Amino acid sequence: MVRPAPGRWRRLGGLLAGAALAATAVAAQSFAFSRDDHSGPLTWTGGLGETVTASRISVRAEGVHAARTIEAGTSPGASSGVSSGTSSGTAQRATTKGIFLVVDLAATSTRVPQRIAPPVLLTESGRRYAATDKVNGDLTITGPFIQWGWWTRRVAVFEVPPAELAGARIVVHPQEGNGALIEPSAPEVEIDLGLDEAAAARLVSTAKDVHTLAGKP
């Protein structure tokens, strides 16, 4: 008996199956991690006032301030808050050609105690600003160990041209080491500070002449 030739629908089914396999292969290539993906950080994002939890830390940006001068008050026995000062029990001041952006941060560890690395400010123009070295690290979020079970509150301070404030985001991540497990991709928290053009202009126009950072005993 002569077998009939394959029908049109059967041939169409074979073509569709082949196309599906090809599409799956393309998708697998599209979602595959490159070497850069494996070595880059894993980023958790959020906005001002939101708690953003990464694999090792939770961070919240609770406020944003601008100032033309930073004054660091100290307590007896505490180190001077500004790098230009050397005596304890006094207040020292630092100035900048741009403006000081002060971000109030709260952080807690999700595992073992952590220290925070110096935060970075990202701008819409693609520039990255490191936290200023004019403020003693003991007064900033990089000073204390971040413990599990309660929130530690400190600031991050940046020197930024006023024109760069709109669209700025702060990036916070734990220091490597700290006795923590080594992860293939380090965790980081990126927080949008809510500074559109209007909010950034208001922040600059209402910048304090002097913003005081309290010393920590």
What are the structure tokens assigned to 162, written together? 């006023």
**Digit-coded pLDDT (tens) for 96-135:** 999 999 999 999 998 889 999 999 999 999 999 999 999 9
pTM, 2 dp: 0.74
Q: Which residues of the chain have pLDDT under 70?
A: 1-39, 73-90, 177-184, 215-217
**Which domains, ranges and CATH numbers included, belong to the chain?**
41-213 (2.60.40.1240)
**Residue whose pair of structure tokens reads 């396999």 in the numeric block:** 21
Q: Quick one: pLDDT at residue 92?
A: 85
Q: Quick one: pLDDT at residue 111?
A: 84
**Digit-coded pLDDT (tens) for 155-167:** 999 999 999 999 9
What are the structure tokens assigned to 115, written together? 């220290």
Q: Quick one: pLDDT at residue 78?
A: 38
Check: CB of residue 215 under 8 Å from CB of residue 74.
yes
- In one-letter notation, the amino acid at residue 162 is P
Q: Quick one: pLDDT at residue 115?
A: 94
Q: Quick one: pLDDT at residue 17?
A: 42
User: What span, in angstroms and rounded, lies between the C-alpha atoms of 175 and 187?
Assistant: 10
